[in-house]
Every structure is written in structure tokens, then in C-alpha cells.
Amino acid sequence: MSVSAVIGLLAGLVALVAGAELLVRGAARIAARTGVSSVVIGLTVVAFGTSTPELAVSVQATLDGRGELAIGNAVGSNIANVLLILGVAALVGGGLVVAQRIVRIDVPIMIGASVLVLVLALDGALGRAEGALLVGLLIAYTVWTIRGARRDAGEILAEYDEALDPAALRRTPVAVDVALVLAGLVLLAVGARWLVGSASTIAADLGASDLVIGLTVVAIGTSMPELATSVVAARRGERDIAVGNVVGSNVFNLLGVIGVSAIVGSTALPVLDAALRFDLPVMTVVAVACLPLFATGHALRRWEGGVFVAYYGAYLGYLVLDATDRIDVEPLRAVMVVFVVPLTVLTIAVVAVRMRRRPAVGG
């Protein structure tokens, strides 16, 4: 594996993270200057801005004819967002509080989007029409979310005001805000080109597929903005924002990143059989696992976060073993395909224990 490829990969990741940070800062300040409320800024500029690395990388990979990398990046980022980022945030923050709206509305939407992408990909490709459908659903989801947020309880609006401080956002000159946005876009474009080129070189050197590199190195790297945002929010006690950031990012990855990538490609976006048989089902199962864990007590406890991180380690371990081709991973696939079984058993056990401990109504 060449040193230049590793340096290019790291430089690309740094440029992507820096570009996303500059873009979010500049766009949030411009939005605040126009009088947009903090909750709308949080649900659109901040939530989608942290997913711009995934979008930039997947679009660049698609334009370069590396659709496997584009799919692997989006799917791998969603798995990392739930298992790694929520797990780490729960460990750091001593658990995460989950707002009822996220449990009742946003997580089911994330599950529905996961199932939809899986179903659309069953024929082995995602075309422009399917991409347009996904982007259209993202626009509808965003508009509906903004309207719903404006009717939310005052304490939720106050939390967004405290986290974003609209007055502080308006203090910088307009020219500075515009410069931040432009610089962020440039860094995202440059970082995406460096990362895609270097990741492809590394994949060739290691004998791994673009899909595997996208699911691992690229996915974790492009998820760094979400990790930083969620961990900082958890440490500050803004724990429902930490969860909302991950759920919103996952929805954007499914509908926006995959949708746009399918639209811009000269041909349909390919979905390998390996992704259909393993990675897309794992992504869907991980999304489903959030619902009962969040619904019982509206919290993700520290020990549950630890379990999430452990599961992510097992998932990465399987991908590495599968990529080496040095051992027969079919027995492992039989176990990991039903990654759902241990995760579901754990979920049911948690629900059962909590339901048993819950006092009876009127008791």
C-alpha cells in the first residue's frame, strides 16, 4: 500500500471535515441573518451540513464510475452513525435522552427509508427515476419536519436557541459568511476528489473491493462531522439533539446521498450482490433495533451504547476477514447475516425487563 495513497486519503478526510465545518458555519449565519428560527437551522443547515462529506464523496465516486464506493459510503455511514456514533455518545454522555417525537416519527421514517432503498436495490441497480423518487421524499420530509418543529413545545425550541444562539450567529459580516460557504464548498470538492482517488488506490493495493473500502475507511471518515456534533451535544447535556443529528443524517444519506448519486451517474448506480445479501440488511436491522430501545424509557443507556460499539466492532471484523480472502467466511456470513438474531434477542430482553419493572397503571 503506497504512502502517497494513505497521505491522500488522510488529506481528503481533513479537507472534507474542514469543508463541512466551514459550510455549516457560514450557512447557519446566513440563515440566522434572514430571520430563520434556530430550530429550522438545526434541522436543515446543521443536520444536512454534517452529511455533506458523504454527499460529496458519493457524487464524486459516481462521476468517476465507482458506484460501489458511493453505495458503500452511504450504507456504511448509516451503520456507523447508529452503532458507533450513538454508542460513543451514550458512553461519553452517560446515556442519551430521546425525544418522543424522534421515537414516534423520525426513527420510523429512518426505518421506512432503509426498507425502501433495500427494495429499490433488489434488481441490482438504482436508476435516475428511483433517485428522483428518493430526493423528492427528502424534500417532502424536510418541509414536513420544519412545519412540525415550529409547533413543538417551548422547551425544545429553547434548547435549539441555546445550542445555536441565533444572536451570536448574526454578529459576523455578511462577506465573511459568504466566504466561509464558498471555502467550505471548495474544500468539500477537493477533499472528495482526493479521498475517492486515494481510496480506490488503496482498494487496488489491498485487493479489496470499492464496496468494502466505502463501508469501512470512507464511511467512518465521512461520519466524523456527525461524531463530533453528537459527542459535543451529549457532553453539553443536549442529548436529544445528539440523537436527532444521527437520525436526520441517516435519512439524508438514504434519500439525499443515494438519491443524488443515482441521478448524476451516466448509468444506473450498481448495487452488488454482496451489499444486497449483507450490508443493506444489516443497515436496515440496525435502524429497526433503535425503535424498541428508544421507545422503552425514551433513552439509550450507557451500557446499551457499549453494546452498540461492540456490535460495530464485530461488523468491521467481519468485513476485514471477508476482504482478506485468507479464510472461508461463509460460516461467519451465516452468523453475521443473522446479525439480526442476537441484536433482536437483546432488544426483546431489554423491552421485557423494562416492562416487568414498570409499575402497573393505578398500582
Q: Estimate the crossing angle of helix 107-120 against helix 128-149, to 10 degrees.
A: 170
* Domain count across the chain: 1
Report pLDDT for 39: 63
Does any domain span residue 71?
yes
Does any domain span residue 167?
yes
Report pLDDT for 257: 93
Which residues fall within 8 angstroms of residue 346, CB to CB, at 6 or more apart?
A: 307
Integer Cα distance of 101 and 107 in angstroms: 9
Does any domain span residue 362?
no
Question: Taking a C-beta distance cutoff of 8 angstroms, is the pair 128, 260 a contact?
Answer: no
Joined together, the cell numbers standing for residue 269 give: 448506480
Does any domain span residue 363?
no
Rounded to two decimals, the pTM is: 0.79
- Can you give the CATH number for the domain in which 321 is found? 1.20.1420.30
Domain enclosing residue 111, as ranges: 3-357
Does any domain span residue 194?
yes
Phi and psi based region of residue 292 (left: phi greater than 0; alpha: psi -120 to 50; beta: remaining): alpha
Report pLDDT for 360: 45
Question: Taking a C-beta distance cutoff of 8 angstroms, is the pair 304, 293 a contact?
Answer: yes
Does any domain span residue 313?
yes
pLDDT tens, the chain, 363 aa long: 678 888 888 888 888 888 888 887 777 777 777 666 666 676 677 767 778 888 888 998 899 888 888 899 999 999 998 888 888 888 887 777 676 667 778 888 999 999 999 999 999 999 999 999 999 999 998 888 777 666 665 555 565 666 556 666 667 787 888 888 888 888 888 888 888 888 878 877 777 778 888 888 888 888 877 777 777 777 766 656 667 778 888 999 999 999 999 999 888 899 988 888 888 988 998 888 787 777 666 677 888 888 888 888 888 887 877 766 655 555 555 555 555 555 555 655 565 565 556 554 444
DSSP 8-state assignment for residue 254: I
DSSP-assigned letters across all residues of 330-354: HHHHHHHGGGHHHHHHHHHHHHHHH
Does any domain span residue 155?
yes
Does any domain span residue 195?
yes
Phi, psi values for residue 97, rounded to 5°: -85, 140
Question: Taking a C-beta distance cutoff of 8 angstroms, is the pair 110, 291 a contact?
Answer: no
Report pLDDT for 143: 83
Report pLDDT for 120: 95
Integer Cα distance of 233 and 242 in angstroms: 5
Report pLDDT for 303: 83
